[in-house]
Amino acid sequence: MCSVLTPGYYYIGVAFPYTGALAAFAKSLEQSAALAVDEINRSGGVHGHPVGLVRCDTRDEVVTSGDVIRELAHIPVVDGIVGPCASADTLSAAPEVIAAKKVMVSPSATSPKLTLLQDKGFVFRTAMSDDFQGAVMAIVAYEKGIRDVMIVFRNDDYGQGLSATFSKKFKELGGHSDSMAYNDVTFNAGTVANAIQKRSPGAVLLISFVNDGASIIKAATNLGLHVRWLLTDGIKDPSLVDKVGGPAPFKDSFGTAPFLPYGKEHDLFVHAYKTQWGEEPGSFGANTYDATYLVALAMELAKDPDDGTEVRNRMASNTMSGPRVGPGGWSQVLKYVSDGKTAINYDGASGPVDFDKHGDVMSDIELWGVDAQGHIVATGCRKPDGTVCTNGETPNL
């Protein structure tokens, strides 16, 4: 299930869904991790040695993810892991890295369950918890006059977490919601569409990935339903509109997602990515780049990169203070280390990436929609408490 992608002396494992429901994300994730490693190696590597990548396919399956991470975690020269992507896969894999004392950083797992995980400090993520996205979705929906919502969600940790967070906040605001769970492997899109038709809600919160979500939207459209869709980050993919058959079903709909990064750090990453790969990075590309960079930084700050506990301690405490370094700044890292610095504050392509005691990070929430030409576009920004981002905090939308 695993193979060497980039040869090296020290290694970082990347566990991505090259096949399965999230396969559309894998290419950009891998290229983002490879970009970070290439930059690090060109500037001197970790402890004077090149860093390699070991690539593993999680297949977006819970059991496979656990098997893959077990394999990676017990390879002595693999000193940290980036991935898995889905929340359920990350939760399944967590016991393996805890037992092996290896750091694991997911670039995209957003389930609130990860915050409460008893992980002994070995599990991190560079994407924000859905505790905030779900609440912001509820606030915005209520502000738009929506009072009745049917929640249709994947019956996994991602769907369950977002559904629970939304329904709790929506009820607090005075709204009503009920829910329908589906199994992403065995579900029938027509059956889900019929249930929506029978229920006839004011809006449908669809918590899905792009393939299953697009099939549900298309089935509802084929029934002649005019649904106001509330969408989340799992379905926010450039292929969405083509899979549905056009932009018409998205009229009056909106979505939420962790806010796309911006500013000089993100611009540096995007420029380097486009230069190396000839295309724009995809969703969670910046988060993956940062996860890879942070693991390498903790390895460099550790006296022994093969000591998983020391790497964990450096991740948790020594990447949030000291001199600031951004994307592409590995030569500065090495200079600071040679000057005796034992802590470095990395400002990432996806944001500040300052971990709290749970290994979580914070970001703003993007509001997005589909325009008349079928493009996914940003339409607004909210802070984690639901308030509107002020001028200077976000780019103009």
pLDDT of residue 24: 81
Strands 376-382 and 365-370 come out as antiparallel
For residue 207, tell me if it sits in a domain. Answer: yes
The residues near 376 (Cβ < 8 Å, ≥ 6 apart) are 236, 238, 240, 241, 368, 369, 370
pLDDT tens for residues 283-309? 899 999 999 999 999 999 999 999 999
For residue 359, tell me if it sits in a domain. Answer: no
pTM: 0.83
pLDDT of residue 390: 74
Residue 31's Cα: distance from chain center in Å? Answer: 15
- Residue 179 and residue 118 share a domain: no
Rg of the chain in Å (alpha carbons): 21
pLDDT of residue 205: 98
Return the number of other C-beta atoms located less than 10 Å from residue 388's C-beta.
Answer: 11
Six-digit token string for 375? 């493009």
For residue 227, tell me if it sits in a domain. Answer: yes
The pLDDT of residue 47 is above 50: yes
Residues of the chain above pLDDT 70, percent: 98
CATH number at residue 154: 3.40.50.2300
For residue 354, tell me if it sits in a domain. Answer: no
- Residue 183 and residue 223 share a domain: yes
- Residue 122 and residue 7 share a domain: yes
For residue 169, tell me if it sits in a domain. Answer: yes
- Residue 318 near residue 301, CB atoms below 8 Å: yes
320: amino acid identity, one letter: M
The pLDDT of residue 67 is above 60: yes
Rounded average pLDDT over 174-184? 96
For residue 396, tell me if it sits in a domain. Answer: no
Rounded average pLDDT over 65-73? 93
Q: What are phi and psi of 10, to 5 degrees?
A: -100, 155
pLDDT tens for residues 182-202? 998 899 999 999 999 999 999
Count how many residues are written for the chain. Answer: 397
What is the rounded distance in angstroms from the CA atom of residue 48 to the CA atom of residue 243? 47
pLDDT of residue 38: 98
- Residue 135 and residue 120 share a domain: no
Q: What are the C-alpha distances in Å from 14 to residues 44, 57, 69, 89, 212?
A: 21, 9, 9, 13, 25
Q: Domain tally for the chain?
A: 2
pLDDT of residue 391: 55
- Residue 273 and residue 292 share a domain: yes
pLDDT tens for residues 101-134? 999 999 999 999 999 999 999 999 999 898 899 9
pLDDT-wise least confident of 169-173, 223-227, 257-261, 332-336: 257-261
- Residue 237 and residue 149 share a domain: yes
pLDDT of residue 396: 46
CA dihedral 321, 322, 326, 327 (to 10 degrees): -80
H/E stretch holding 204: strand 203-207
For residue 17, tell me if it sits in a domain. Answer: yes
pLDDT-wise least confident of 1-10, 11-20, 58-67, 386-395: 386-395
Going by pLDDT thresholds of 50, 70 and 90, the confidence category of residue 394 is low
- Residue 374 and residue 246 share a domain: yes
Strands 51-57 and 10-16 come out as parallel
The pLDDT of residue 317 is above 80: no
- Residue 120 and residue 31 share a domain: yes
254-258: strand order across its sheet? 176-182, 148-154, 203-207, 229-231, 254-258, 365-370, 376-382
User: What does DSSP assign to residue 246?
Assistant: S
- Residue 376 and residue 236 share a domain: yes
- Residue 211 and residue 137 share a domain: yes
Going by pLDDT thresholds of 50, 70 and 90, the confidence category of residue 262 is confident
Q: What are phi and psi of 256, to 5 degrees?
A: -130, 155
pLDDT of residue 56: 95
Going by pLDDT thresholds of 50, 70 and 90, the confidence category of residue 318 is confident
The pLDDT of residue 226 is above 50: yes
For residue 67, tell me if it sits in a domain. Answer: yes
Domain span at residue 286? Answer: 2-127+262-346
What is the rounded distance in angstroms from the CA atom of residue 386 to the CA atom of residue 253? 18
DSSP string, 108-129: S---GGGTT---TT-EEESS--
User: What does DSSP assign to residue 27?
Assistant: H
- Residue 338 and residue 294 share a domain: yes
- Residue 154 and residue 123 share a domain: no
Rounded average pLDDT over 272-278? 97
